Structure 1
């Protein structure tokens, strides 16, 4: 067994049960809802989260406390020599920087915090890649270097069903939200590296899906230099609508044939800001080692 433990957080979409099956430790992300503390996949399910959003509850994201991280790291280091910790992208949360500072001050040479700009299914893939490298005997330093070296080789496109939650979170103005709602726009957002940015505006869901699929194809051909089918992963995500997610999976697989697309619920830390009914697709270059 590898003496390097892999830890990620629940933004990866890896549940506590799946983590046990995969041999990956998962830090539950904390939320504050109407003044009460909740932890993803511990006392807060996907269904409960979106029910509270629908009730217009006051929902805010948080980050793991230093004490909770150190308690977990100390426990894991009883059985492992080193830890690779892959939190959500530093461009979307301060939790990565906090973890990095703790590791530098208290766990130098023991805990390696990886900021490779991933979230949701792309973060999940990084955790799986790290586990495979650890099992293959690579050092913690080599795993860190490979994940950082390939951090920009991934894209995410997300189509929103509503502008309500972006407006509520102050990420767009009420006037822009009202106009978008009036025109029934379906914004398509992108993550390439650190930030969640606007990419395109669609008038219909069908147009938005087409925009995302064409963007993925363009990335494969241009941004990643025309990768062969076996050299990349395609994955999808959705918020609070498994039926729409499964239909989306079929559409992407038909448009980009030759693979079985992994599908997960989108991270609640992202879902908090974009709301239910969203669909996402990602492309990530396979890590070779």
Structure 2
């Protein structure tokens, strides 16, 4: 059986506990505070972004892991196992995947997968790859299967307020103001490696989150029930508990994994963002 190492970039939003359980290592993207660059999850945490924004009224920018970073990372990991399968945030969101591919050309045992996803949408693929590796499936076959399975990932988030999207240049000030005045909370969905605005919910955050979960899960007979993620960018525990109860109402997942989003999602979407992410059959 091959000793297969599963890795990813920091945008996968796996908790430290899950990284340790599955023996996964991640390579960080960068968060730039003016001229100062910090490594996502290493030198900077999401709350640092919120504090910076509250103090300065400006958001940091994010940038991709460089080819040189990947060369160093793959050089080390390729020596530790028979094969490395590395997962990246969608190439539609970042240059990280292309940079990883450039570096991987120097290694015969490194497979790079464009997740066509973000956050724990990518993590769902990584954990499924870990399951397959444990079953003895060869690395090349796992990498190919992940490219098929990525179209089955259902990733979405509810945005509480559009302020961060506006400040990041992803929507107009008029749109953000109108949404806030009308108490609209859009659902941002990932489709074919890009983001789109789905249903717009209206009302108090807790009620909207319950309605959102019902909209995503009710009546579905195609759910892969091994695991589902509840991923948030900093939100009250009472909301997480309400979402968990609502998930349990509609499906009997083997695991409901709660994780906090890292700097990329947090920087783009802001606090009180929450999503349920799962795979269909």
TM-score (norm 1): 0.87
**Of 32-41 and 162-171, the range deviating more from structure 2:** 32-41
Task: Quote the Cα distance in structure 2 between the aligned partners of 1:34 and 1:16.
Answer: 28
Aligned match of 2:162:
163
1:162-209 Cα shifts (integer Å, max 9, x gaps): 111111111111221222222222112111331111012222125532
Between the aligned partners of 1:248 and 1:44, the Cα distance in structure 2 is 29
Deviation (angstroms), 1:212 = 2.0
**Quick one: structure 1 residues 145 and 24, their matched pair in 2 at CA, closer, same or farther if it must change by over 3 Å?**
same
> Within 1, Cα distance between the matches of 2:158 and 2:13?
18
Indicate if the aligned counterparts of 1:236 and 1:280 stay in contact, CA closer than 8 A: yes
| Superposition pairs of residues 12-23 of structure 1, within 5 angstroms | 12-15=12-15, 18-23=18-23
Residue equivalent to 1:54: 54
> Who is 1:258 aligned against?
252
1:11-55: per-residue Cα shift (whole Å, max 9, x none)? 111245653442112112211013211112211123323222332
- The alpha carbon displacement at 1:121 in A equals 1.9
Alignment of 1:86-235 (within 5 A): 86-104=87-105, 106-107=106-107, 109-204=108-203, 205-206=205-206, 208-217=208-217, 221=220, 226-227=221-222, 231-235=225-229
3-state SS in 2 of match to 1:200:
strand
Superposition RMSD on alpha carbons, in Å?
2.3
Q: Is the 8 A contact 1:236 1:262 kept in 2?
A: yes
Tell me, yes or no, if structure 1 residue 8 matches structure 2 residue 17: no
Unaligned runs of 5+ in 1: none
1:280 corresponds to: 275
Superimposed CA distance per residue, residues 80-131 of structure 1 (whole angstroms, 9 cap, x where no aligned partner): 2321000112222221122123323x22x32111013232222222112212
State whether structure 2 residue 86 is matched by structure 1 residue 85. Answer: yes
**Whole-angstrom CA distance in 2 between matches of 1:240 and 1:150:** 29
- Structure 1 stretch 115-124 or stretch 14-23: which is displaced more? 14-23
Tell whether 2:37 aligns with 1:37: yes
Describe the SS at the equivalent of 1:98: helix
Counting matched residue pairs gives 278
**Where has structure 1 moved over 4 Å in runs of 4 or more?**
15-18
